[in-house]
Copies of this chain bind each other. A is one copy, B any other.
């Protein structure tokens, strides 16, 4: 690059930064979810973002448009960026036969997809998954659904703020028989069914009769089947769900388009924000490692779309911007006292109190105090030359506007009283 010319400091389309004001609450959100997952006994796994392309796609040409390929100049492996955390889980299970079943793992990490660029769709996004691998028990299905409920509650949602919609592929798979259409049309019928929330039954009718070329009669049977539900099929799972009735619903219109589901499937929608779609979804898929071996390994799991959830919680006013994590500011305006100011900051930090030492350009007490007011610090510690000589500090309660002189050895306890 020629001297004196500059690079534009910009991101590619479909990518975003999280500045601290958003990253502080986002990180709290992630920590909350992880804490719930760990309480349920899920253990963390980590896998690379970059894997062999063949491992990620299994050679399926449908992925080719969606996948980011990556490589070194002259590199010999065909590599790509992962697009979900399920395929890497399957690889880990296939490659480590010594892992004890059931294997309950959670994982969070970035994934990449060539999404069309539209509102709320990112080409790099964070997923947080939990899966029970190696158990075909219905109690495992119930466990994952309960995990979703407890996670939503821990995030601050009330029982009436969300609904976990539960369906079952085994029931849906009888649809072709019941409605008398060619089973080959099933994928197209299920994909259309997934749009019911967005386009209503009129829209579904149009798509099913046109795109899937169902007859009017067949469509009517499909609609009746979905609306009737299948209480008997869901009874065993229902008895194991230890969560309030208003927070879940058995709803056959949830089909989850992805081909690999084989049993129960579920989605979580927000009652006040249905348009944002499912923010927490998954299901049972009993062919987890079929790409890698002939071992039959059942699994059930769920995935949080972290970025979409964060946008939803912002829209619902559940996320506040936060500009700092420190609660105390130690001013630093006279060089002769600087060592003692640093000592005060160190003592507070060792006591577990998040503390900022003033490092800015203001050189006067007045200027630094004005800064602390603007930044809304609840507590300020002041050590000038005079205080330094006498081994004391002023501890200022910025809310009540009171100030106490304490010995420097007592700064921590004086600050603790104010927090």
Residues of B within 8 A of A343 (CB): 242
Which residues of chain B come closer than 8 Å to A259, judged between CB atoms? none
Q: Is the CB of B44 within 8 A of A349?
A: no
* A223 at interface, CB cutoff 8 A: no
The residue that A349 contacts in the complex, of B39, B291, B293, with Cβ under 8 A, is B39
Are B293 and A124 in contact (CB-based, < 8 A)? no
Which among A74-82, A201-209, A250-258, A268-276 touches the partner chain? Answer: A74-82
Instruction: Return A196 CB to nearest CB of chain B, in Å.
Output: 31
Instruction: Output the least CB separation between A324 and chain B (Å).
Output: 6
A91→B11 CA distance, assembly (Å): 9
Contact A339 B240, beta carbon cutoff 8 Å: yes
Say yes or no: is A320 at the interface (Cβ < 8 Å to chain B): no
The CA of A77 and the CA of B123, in the complex, are separated in Å by 13
| Alpha-carbon separation in the docked complex, A101 to B357 (Å) | 13
- Closest Cβ of chain B to A213, distance in Å, is 28
The answer, yes or no, to whether A187 is at the interface (CB within 8 Å) is no
Residues of B with C-beta under 8 A to A72: 65-69, 114
Interface residues of A in 66-100 (CB under 8 A from B): 66-73, 75, 77, 79, 81, 90-92, 94-96, 99
Contact residue among B75, B143, B346 (Cβ-Cβ distance under 8 Å from A359): B143
Instruction: Note all chain B residues with C-beta closer than 8 A to A79.
Output: 12, 68
- Segment of A20-28, A175-183, A214-222, A383-391 in the binding face: A20-28
Pair B43/A325 contact, Cβ less than 8 Å: yes
A156 to chain B, nearest CB (A): 15
Q: Give residues 1-39 of A contacting B (CB, 8 Å).
A: 1, 6-13, 15-20, 23-24, 26-27, 36, 38-39
Stretch at the interface among A133-141, A277-285, A395-403: A133-141
Contact B102 A17 (CB under 8 A): no
A338 pairs with B68, CB closer than 8 A:
no
Interchain CB contact under 8 A, A135 and B68 = no
Counting chain B CB atoms within 10 Å of each CB, the highest count among A7, A44, A140, A291 belongs to: A7
Inter-chain CA distance A67–B73, complex, in Å, is 8
Residues of B close to A264: CB separation below 8 A: none
A169 within 8 A of B: no
Q: Which residues of A contact B (CB under 8 A)?
A: 1, 6-13, 15-20, 23-24, 26-27, 36, 38-41, 43-52, 54-55, 58-60, 64-73, 75, 77, 79, 81, 90-92, 94-96, 99, 101-102, 104-105, 110, 112, 114, 123-124, 132, 134-135, 137, 139-140, 142-143, 146, 150, 239-240, 242, 289, 291-294, 323-326, 332, 338-339, 342-343, 346, 349-350, 352-357, 359-361
List 13 other contacts, CB 8 Å, given A9-B92, A110-B110, A142-B342: A11-B51, A15-B50, A39-B355, A49-B110, A66-B72, A68-B70, A69-B72, A72-B114, A134-B360, A135-B359, A150-B346, A150-B349, A240-B339
